[in-house]
Structure 1
Amino acid sequence: MTAFDYAALALFLLCWLGYGPLLRLLAMRSGTLNDDMMVVRRAWMDAMVHREVRIVDSQLMGHTINSGGFFASTNLLLIAAVAGILFGGEQALRGVAEVGPGEVSSRLLEAKLALVLLCLARGLLDFIWSIRQMNYALALIGAAPELHTEADRRGLGEAAGALLNPALSAFSQGVRGYYFALAAAAWLFGPVWLALGVVAVFCLLVWRQAASPAARAIRSARRLLEP
Structure 2
Amino acid sequence: MSTADVVAFVIFAIIWLAYEPLLRVLARDNGMINTDMTVVRGAWMRTMAGRENKFMDGQLLGHTLNSASFFASSNLILIAGAAGVLFGGEGAFRSASSLMVLKTSSRLLFEAQIALMVLALARGLLDFIWAIRQMNYCLAVIGATPTTDDKDFQRQYGSLAAQVLNPALSSFNRGVRGYYFALAAAAWLFGPAAFLTATLAAVALLFSRQRHSPTARAIRELRGVLEKRGD
TM-score range, shorter chain: over 0.9
Q: TM-score, normalised by structure 1?
A: 0.97
User: Which residue of structure 2 lines up, in the alignment, with residue 50 of structure 1?
Assistant: 50
The count of residues paired between Structure 1 and Structure 2 equals 227
User: Which residue of structure 1 lines up, in the alignment, with residue 161 of structure 2?
Assistant: 160
Alignment of 1:57-136 (within 5 A): 57-99=57-99, 100-101=101-102, 104-136=105-137
User: Which residue of structure 1 lines up, in the alignment, with residue 217 of structure 2?
Assistant: 216
User: Which residue of structure 1 lines up, in the alignment, with residue 183 of structure 2?
Assistant: 182
Deviation at 1:92, TM superposition (A): 1.6
Inter-partner Cα distance in structure 2 for 1:132 and 1:180: 23
Q: Are residues 62 and 103 of structure 1, via their aligned partners in 2, closer, same or farther at CA, if it must alter by over 3 Å?
A: closer
Amino acid at match of 1:3: T
Q: TM-score, normalised by structure 2?
A: 0.95
Inter-partner Cα distance in structure 2 for 1:205 and 1:119: 16
Amino acid at match of 2:129: I
Deviation at 1:93, TM superposition (A): 2.4
Q: Are residues 145 and 10 of structure 1, via their aligned partners in 2, closer, same or farther at CA, if it must alter by over 3 Å?
A: same
User: Which residue of structure 1 lines up, in the alignment, with residue 23 of structure 2?
Assistant: 23
Deviation at 1:29, TM superposition (A): 1.1
2:142 equivalent to 1:141? yes
Deviation at 1:14, TM superposition (A): 1.6
Inter-partner Cα distance in structure 2 for 1:60 and 1:31: 25
User: Which residue of structure 1 lines up, in the alignment, with residue 197 of structure 2?
Assistant: 196
SS in 2 for 1:124: helix
* Contact 1:97/1:188, CA 8 A, preserved across alignment: no
Q: Are residues 102 and 121 of structure 1, via their aligned partners in 2, closer, same or farther at CA, if it must alter by over 3 Å?
A: closer
Amino acid at match of 2:184: A
Q: Are residues 48 and 33 of structure 1, via their aligned partners in 2, closer, same or farther at CA, if it must alter by over 3 Å?
A: same
Provide the identity percentage: 55
Amino acid at match of 1:68: A
Amino acid at match of 1:173: R
Deviates most, 93-102 or 55-64: 93-102
Amino acid at match of 1:20: E
Deviation at 1:183, TM superposition (A): 0.4
Inter-partner Cα distance in structure 1 for 2:144 and 2:223: 28
> Residue deviations 1:49-71, cap 9 Å, x none?
11001111011011010000000
Inter-partner Cα distance in structure 1 for 2:15 and 2:199: 7
Deviation at 1:102, TM superposition (A): 5.4
> Residue deviations 1:175-198, cap 9 Å, x none?
000000000000001000000000
Q: Are residues 102 and 167 of structure 1, via their aligned partners in 2, closer, same or farther at CA, if it must alter by over 3 Å?
A: closer
Unaligned stretches of 5+ residues in structure 1? none
* Contact 1:180/1:201, CA 8 A, preserved across alignment: yes
